Amino acid sequence: MRSHPPEEDAPRRPTSAGPECDGGAAEPVPASATLGNDVVDLAHPRTEGKEADRRFLERVLDPNERELVAEGGRRTLWTLWAAKEAAYKAAYKVACVSGDARPTFGHRAFQVALRDQGGGEPWGGTVLHGAVRYPFEVRATREWVHALALSPGGSFDRAVTGLEPVGEPPTDWRAALRREFTAREWDSVHSYPSALVRLRCRRALADALAIRQEQLEITTRPGPSGRTPPVLLIRGDPAGTDLSLSHHGRFVGWAFAAPLEAEGGPAPFSGSDGSSGAG
């Protein structure tokens, strides 16, 4: 779902953390346990050449961030972009839980500070919005950038993430996949990547919770101006575990906060492969 109305120069329409809070039953997710993830396909045509597009850079980056892009180039640009998007998704859900005013999204309003990596990965730092800093980490290859941002007080040790290529959809993907979803889940599916990211995240959640996938649902509700953030249900009830879904181009990405009691503990945020626990 969209995190905000698509912007003219954006590489795609963001696909998680919708523009309205869930107006239904309260979700028992503490503000300190919300998160957001964002994936960017670096081969997508609308990511090409933006590191040299002055108007675009001035619209989405502050002067310090533009200096980082001047030094680091294209991948640095999309690292900053993904960090901002992921932090917005976490910030929006913090507001939903706490009852504060919902943040209005503008890329420049979310200011990224990168920590000194010493040549290593994952990249990371904080995203400042207002007076609040949201920690984030980013994995990046020549093919993609994947960012994970947490609400203040969140723990990367509890974050389970995944990233996978979309691949070619079945000829009639709707007919092929419809039986994998409940009616209220299917109501949120709008494309093949939208379906795939839900299936992959649900599989990873089932593994982390040691529960059958059939007992899990990932749902969203319609709001006044779009879909609400995704909610995990276990046997029809809110699970109290936050999650985030994203897709762009050839890739889908997801993240969730693993329950502390999950058997074996959560997988750390890493970028080793495309399975659960990979960023």
| 22: Cα separation from own chain's centroid | 17
- The pLDDT assigned to 95 comes to 81
Q: Reading across the β-sheet that carries 237-238, which strands appear in turn?
A: 216-219, 231-234, 237-238
Enter the pTM of the model: 0.83
Beta bridge partners of residue 247, listed in sequence order: 252
**Total domains, the chain:** 1
Question: Is 26 contained in some domain?
Answer: no
- The pLDDT assigned to 119 comes to 59
Taking residue 233's Cβ as centre, other Cβ atoms within 10 Å add up to 17
- The pLDDT assigned to 167 comes to 94
Question: Is 156 contained in some domain?
Answer: yes
Question: Is 93 contained in some domain?
Answer: yes
Q: Which of 16, 61, 67, 14 is nearest to 40 (CA)?
A: 14
Distance CA 105, CA 160 (A): 25
Question: Is 139 contained in some domain?
Answer: yes
Which residue range(s) make up the domain with 200? 31-257
State the CATH number of the domain containing residue 50.
3.90.470.20
| Per-residue confidence in pLDDT tens, the chain, 279 aa | 233 322 222 233 333 333 356 543 344 566 567 899 999 999 999 999 999 999 999 999 999 999 999 999 999 999 999 999 999 999 988 887 766 667 778 899 999 999 876 555 668 999 999 999 999 999 999 999 999 999 998 889 989 999 999 999 999 999 999 999 999 999 999 999 999 999 999 999 999 999 999 999 999 887 665 678 899 999 999 888 899 999 999 999 999 988 655 444 444 443 333 333 322
- The pLDDT assigned to 105 comes to 82
Question: Is 200 contained in some domain?
Answer: yes
Question: Is 19 contained in some domain?
Answer: no
Question: Is 179 contained in some domain?
Answer: yes
Question: Is 76 contained in some domain?
Answer: yes
- The pLDDT assigned to 273 comes to 33
Kindly give, in sequence order, each residue whose CB lies less than 8 Å from that of residue 97, ignoring residues fewer than 6 positions away: 27, 29, 30, 31, 34
Q: Which of 142, 186, 145 is nearest to 163 (CA)?
A: 145
- The pLDDT assigned to 263 comes to 41
- The pLDDT assigned to 251 comes to 98
Distance CA 202, CA 208 (A): 10
